[in-house]
Amino acid sequence: MRERSEPAATENRQADCSLFFACFPDRETAERIHRLALAMCAELGLARKPKAAERLHVTLHHLGNHKGLPAGIVSAATAAADDVIFPAFDIQFDRLSSFPGSRHNRPIILRGGDLAQLRELQERLGESLTVHGLDPFRDRDYTPHLTLLYNNRRVPDASAPLVAWRVTEFVLMQSLRGQGRYVELGRWPLGPP
């Protein structure tokens, strides 16, 4: 592993959590996306607020929901990520859409055009997770997207202002469910393009 954060205080390990690998935009891009989401909510009359800028990300693999921090899964996921070598790349999102979900919890997302390198990184990480004994849910179709918020209604597919950034790393995160915050468990830089 190229960089690793220590898990947060003991109470975080006792909370219900989920684990996932993701790519996060840089701070400036995340803040721009957040402003875009706020404007979109006002324009479309959406009642719920968008996710905080620091929580905006593109999920690569979800590693399940857990009671407490599962040390064995974190260890295997860390070893799997250590084995992934991949170059940095650019991604772009330019479409607004909704994903199916429960009537009161529909994700409103940004989608993009050519996200082949993001898909390839997701696939390579999934292969490594499998080698290290984890089930990265590879039986599900992977649709690269960035969730802006959850809402009680669908929005029509539409073009959106272009959002782009260079992906230079991926991270392993613990989401503390019900607390609205993440704890970083590891960070892996991508190589030169």
pLDDT for 177 equals 79
Q: How many domains does the chain have?
A: 1
Contacts of 148 (CB under 8 A, 6+ apart): 33, 36, 37, 40, 50, 51, 56, 108, 109, 110
Q: 141: which residues sit within 8 A by CB, 6+ positions away? A: none
pLDDT number for residue 114: 81
Q: What is the pTM of this model?
A: 0.88
- CA separation for the pair 69, 164 (Å, rounded): 33
The total of other beta-carbon atoms located within 10 Å of residue 192's CB is: 6
Domain that holds residue 148: 16-189
Domain-embedded: residue 44: yes
Within a domain: 129: yes
In a domain, 8, yes or no: no
Residue 128 lies in a domain: yes
With respect to residue 56, please indicate whether it lies within any of the assigned structural domains.
yes
Torsion on CA atoms 111, 108, 32, 30, rounded to nearest 10: -80
Report the C-alpha gap between 89 and 111 in whole angstroms.
Answer: 17
Q: What is the pLDDT of residue 3?
A: 52
Examine residue 1 and state whether it is found in any structural domain, yes or no: no
Residue 88 in domain:
yes
Residue 16: predicted pLDDT: 87
Question: Which CATH number belongs to the domain containing residue 143 in this structure?
Answer: 3.90.1140.10
Report how far residue 114's alpha carbon sits from residue 84's, in angstroms, rounded to the nearest whole number: 22
Residues of the chain with pLDDT under 70: 1-15, 101-104, 137-139, 193
Asked if the structure places residue 154 within a domain, the reply is: yes
